[in-house]
Every structure is written in structure tokens, then in C-alpha cells.
Amino acid sequence: MEILTQVSQAFTDQRPGTSGLRKKVTVFQQPHYLENFIQSVFDAIPDRAGKTLVLGGDGRYFNREAIQVILKMAAANQWGEVILGRGGLLSTPAASHLIRHYGARGGLILSASHNPAGPDQDFGIKFNGENGGPASESLTEEIWRRSQEITSYRIARFPAVEIDREQEISLGNMRLRIIDPVRDYADLMERIFDFSALSALLQGDFQMRFDALHAITGPYALEIFEKRLGAPAGTVQNAVPLPDFGGGHPDPNLVYAKALADLLLGPEAPDFGAASDGDGDRNMILGRGIFVSPSDSLAVLSAHARCIPAYKEGLRGVARSMPTSQAVDVVAKSLGIEHFETPTGWKFFGNLLDAGRITFCGEESFGTGSNHVREKDGLWAVLAWLSILASTRKSVREILREHWQHFGRHYYTRHDYEELPSDAAQAMMAGLQAQLTVLPGQHLAGREIRIADDFSYTDPVDGSQSNHQGVRLLFDDGARLIFRLSGTGTSGATLRIYHELYERDSSRLERDPQRHLRELIDLGRELSRVEHLSGRKAPTVIT
């Protein structure tokens, strides 16, 4: 096998974000662009020789071409083994599980998550470490440093590999194992959950729909829901992963999963509905006539964790990202367990999970997970909800009502302004930060601002510090207003404004969140000057 050293030069835009490197497909298709980044990742892992690398992606456009390149570069860079999902497919939580299950040194996940796919859309690559979680900040910085000084990359020459069947082959000194991308993950779910109880639920009068949005979870959902649990054919919809996700936007929210939302909120609704995103780590939960906010979902799952066999002894602790509502904090206090508030980004949960400080964790951006992997996991969340429904024999609406009556309700909504001009978005955040010293003590939106800051976090496990994680306004009655720029897009910037108000009055627990939070919503628009600076009169997405 011939190994070439290809002369190259650095690209200035290869700094990975919290979810790796995301760019338009056409950017990755530039000569040497993909190869430079992969070599930078490999160079940042000096102990890779002879080790195992997990590889796969969500099936989006350019996935298969990238895999052929990565295999050639892995062979040239002394990896001992690559475990590849058949067809190049692996969901993000399945990849995390495989890294842990097979003791791999890490994995490359090819995905841009919930972003659209296609020749003119988005592609992404991220490296997950040996714990199965996203690369640490120190490793991410090392990858970035390497990418800025790279002058060449190493690549082997061999014919394209047939990746659509399970097989083991040798590529020089490297072994390639192509495996069923679903089996190991589905086996893990069967160990966590009571599949006999779930089978009884799904084979009875209970009706559910799962929308895979033509993304990666289709094969996983078919195997678990229809094959192993015996749900009727057609329970899983849009189940075939397509390179362009069928032209849709694989983000499981009320806007981009509108067909499912219309069904569950309409007159002919089934009992339960759920969706997942492009790479399978996010989830949306609905009951007949009701949408479950991700913040409420994390709180409800934590309160009912003992319904699930793997957690029957209770939870060690819980964690949420800072913008996520404080609903799970109230549950944790009731259970007498630790609760943590971290920056946005699943890697911040990793240290807490590895240290055994928490069992459940979640983000308001439709991500929920547990200590079974080191990523959020959409199908795990769906199975957890089904376990509660099977155990309680109550509807989603009844479960939410009882939860609010017992713990109170954290009214919550997130308004996203997507693809803003970057300079306008930066001006909004700069304007907010400039007001932080004068806002405390002011009476706005009918309440007094107690704290105004830019959130900082000290990791309780390793002591590392993360600053500038989002502007927070904390009010004297427990209400919160939070502003963040999201780094998950590939063009422009996304401003997210989060609004939260805690309600204990039992007569005020089933109101429309948008109306109940109107004063905070108006204040957020006013303080950010979003309409003045961008011309946007309304958010792109409301959840």
C-alpha cells in the first residue's frame, strides 16, 4: 500500500465549535480542505498508533465521499482499526456507545446535526474522545492550532472500499470492520428499558407516531419500535435516511416537524408522538393535544426515573445547561440529589457523568440523556417517556398536569432569530453586555432585576473555567431572561432569547406560554434591539 505525503497549506477557517467543524458542503469540497482538517485531528492524538477509531455519520450529502478519504488517511496515520457503520451510517448516540463498548480511542462523527443537507447545504465533522463524548476544549484548541500550521497530510492509495455490506478487511496494517450500525445500540436500549412492558403498551390500544424526518434514526426506530417492540407497521414515518433529508429541515421542533405537530395537536391525534433530528441526538415529545417543552421533559423524566429498570435505584444527580429552565432543579431538591447548571454544550456534562455526580442531563434545545452514553440521545428519551406511560397508565397531559400541580410550572419559551447578519448579532450582544452594570435594581416587565451578568462556569470536577456563556437577567421573583448567540449554524448568526417564569398558583398552570410570558418577551426584544439592528419583526422559530 502506497502512502503519500501531500503538500498543502493552512485554511484560516477551521476552528471547531462545540460540535466540531460545520461548513457548507462546497467548502469541504475544496481541494485539501477535508484532508487538512482530518490530519489536524489525527495530529492532535499522538497516541493513535494501533488504536481503534469509530467512524460514521447521519447519511447526509458528502458523507460517503468523506468516509473514503478518512479511511485512506486513517490507514496512512497508523490507526490499528476502524469500526465503520454499514453504509457509512451511525447516529451520534450510537457512535458514542460504540466508542465506549469497543474501547476505542475515539470516533469521527460526520454530521451537521439538525442543519439542512444537500449539495448546497451543510456538512460537519467532530471528534469524540475515548469516553464517547465531544472533544474537550483543550483538544479542540489543539486541533485548531494544528490546522493553522499544517503544511502537508498523509494519505494512502487504494481503491474505494465497498461499505454497504458487513465485512472485515485489511487496508495495509489497518483492519476495517464494517458492522451493523443499529444492533449494538438497540441491544443497549433493551438492557436499559423493560421491553416486555413497552411491547405490551405498543401492541395494545395505545397509538404512537415517530417521525424520523428522513434522517439517521429511521433504521434505529424501525428496529426498536416495529421489530423488537412489535408496534404496528407505519408507526415509524419518513424512515429512510436520504442525502438531503427529503428536502426538509431535520430539527425536531414545532416549526420543522410541523406535520407531526399538526397530527398530535389535531382532532385525530394518536396517544403519543415523537421526532428526532438529523444525527439522532435530539428529541421532540408530544401527547394528544399537548407539546412537552424540553425543559419540562427533563424534569418529568427525572421525577419518574424509577419507572425505568436501569434507574430503579434512583439518580445520583442531574444537570442542565444554563438556558434550560429551572424545572429540573425543583425536582432534584425534592429528591435530595445534586443539581448542576453548566454552559451549553454536551461536553460540560461529560466530566459530571464520568465522575458519577449525575445520572440525567439535558438542554432546552431538545436534547436529553443519561449516563448510558456521553451524548444526548433522542431515542433514549422517547423510550424513557414510553416507560413512564406504560408504568403509570396515564396520558402525557395527565402526567404534565400532575407534575405542575406537585412541583409548580416553569413557563418557558425560546425565540430564535436565525441567519442574522453577524455584525448585527454581535452588536446586539455588545449592547446587552454594556448594560450589565446598570440593570440591577431596575424595575422592568413588572419585576425587579436582581442580577445581570455574563454567565461563567467553574467545572466542579477539574476546576476549568468557561466565561462569556450568555447574558442573564435574574429577577427578584425567580423569572429569567437570557440571551445567547448559537454556534450551530454555518451562515450568519442565530440569536436565542430565553424567557422563564415560575408559577405556583394552581389556578394558573395551564395557560398559553406565549401570552403568560408576554412582558418578558417584549422586554427581550426591547433590550436586544433585535428589530432595530436586524429589521426582523418576528423570530424564525418559537419553542
Which strand ranges, in their side-by-side order, compose the sheet holding 471-475? 443-444, 447-454, 471-475, 480-486, 493-503, 409-420, 541-542
Residue ending a domain, choose from 136, 161, 180? 180
Same domain? 259 vs 119: no
CB-side exposure of 49: number of CA atoms within 13 Å? Answer: 2
C-alpha cell at 38: 482530518
Q: Rounded CA gap, 432 and 489, in Å?
A: 22
For residue 218, give every residue at least 6 positions away whose Cβ sits within 8 Å of its Cβ, in sequence order, or none. Answer: 212, 236, 238, 239, 240, 241
CA dist 454 and 468 (Å) reads 5
Q: Cell match 461548513: residue?
A: 23
The CA distance from 429 to 43, in Å, is: 35
Side-by-side strand order, sheet with 317-321:
338-342, 317-321, 360-363, 367-370
- Mean per-residue pLDDT, 53-80: 98
Are 82 and 248 in contact, with CB atoms under 8 Å apart? no
Integer Cα distance of 445 and 276 in angstroms: 35
d(CA 163, CA 293): 39
pLDDT at 531: 93
Are the C-beta atoms of 480 and 498 separated by less than 8 Å?
Answer: yes
Task: Give pLDDT, residue 285.
Answer: 98
Residue 113 appears among annotated catalytic residues: yes
What cell was used for 210? 415517530
Lookup: cell for 362 = 439535558
Strands 317-321 vs 338-342: parallel, antiparallel or unpaired: parallel
Say if residue 31 is in the same domain as residue 82: yes
pLDDT recorded at residue 18: 78
74-125 per-position pLDDT tens digit: 999 999 999 999 999 999 999 999 999 999 999 999 999 989 999 999 999 9
Secondary structure (H, E, C), 379-434: HHHHHHHHHHHHHHCCCHHHHHHHHHHHHCEEEEEEEEEEEECHHHHHHHHHHHHH
pLDDT band at 401 (very low <50, low <70, confident <90, very high): very high
Q: Among 180, 201, 233, give the residue marking a domain's end.
A: 180
Number of domains observed in the structure of the chain:
3
234 and 312 housed in the same domain: yes
pLDDT-derived band at 489 (thresholds 50, 70, 90) equals low
Catalytic residue among 19, 40, 96, 113: 113
Mean pLDDT for the chain? 96
Q: Do 386 and 464 share a domain, yes or no?
A: no
> Of 217, 187, 186, which Cα lies nearest the Cα of 89?
217
DSSP 511: S
Three-state secondary structure string covering 270-297: CCEEEEECCCCCEEEEEECCEEECHHHH
pLDDT-above-70 percentage for the chain: 99
Distance of alpha carbon 264 from alpha carbon 288, whole angstroms: 5
List the CATH number of the domain containing 517: 3.30.310.50
Instruction: Give, for 98, the enclosing helix (H) or strand (E).
Output: helix 92-101
Mark whether 130 and 216 lie in a shared domain.
Answer: no
Q: Are residues 294 and 426 in the same domain?
A: no
**Range 355-384 average pLDDT:** 97
**Boundary-marking domain end, from 407, 437, 453:** 407
pLDDT above 60 (res 416): yes
Query: In angstroms, rounded to a whole number, what is the distance separating the alpha carbons of residues 170 and 155?
Result: 16
Mean pLDDT of the region 314-318: 98
Residue 257's pLDDT band, with cuts at 50, 70 and 90, is very high
User: What pLDDT score does 491 carry?
Assistant: 61
* pLDDT at site 322: 97
Same domain as 330, residue 244: yes
56 and 175 both lie in a single domain: yes
Q: What spatial distance separates the first Cα and last Cα of the chain, rounded to whole Å?
A: 53
What are the cell numbers at 313? Answer: 435505584
Give the pLDDT score at 104: 98
Q: Which residue has the cell 489536524?
A: 40
Instruction: Identify any residues that bridge with 57 across adjacent strands, giving them in sequence order.
Output: 89, 110
Query: Are 398 and 415 within one domain?
Result: no
Integer Cα distance of 374 and 105 in angstroms: 14
Question: In the predicted model, what is the mean pLDDT of residues 217-231?
Answer: 98
Alpha-carbon gap, residue 111 to 108, rounded angstroms: 9
Same domain, 334 and 290: yes
Q: Of all residues in the chain, what percent carry a pLDDT higher than 90?
A: 94
Helix (H) or strand (E) holding 503: strand 493-503
Give yes or no: residues 150 and 298 share one domain. Answer: no
Mean pLDDT value across residues 22-28 = 97
Q: Which of 308, 375, 388 is nearest to 345 (CA)?
A: 375
Provide the residue type at 164 as one letter. D
pLDDT at 35 exceeding the cut of 70: yes
Q: Domain span at residue 216? A: 185-407
Is the pLDDT confidence value at 16 over 70?
A: yes
Same domain? 162 vs 200: no
**Cα 428 to Cα 436: distance, rounded to the nearest angstrom:** 13
pLDDT score of 486: 81
Q: What is the domain-level CATH number for residue 284?
A: 3.40.120.10
Mean pLDDT of 189-210: 97
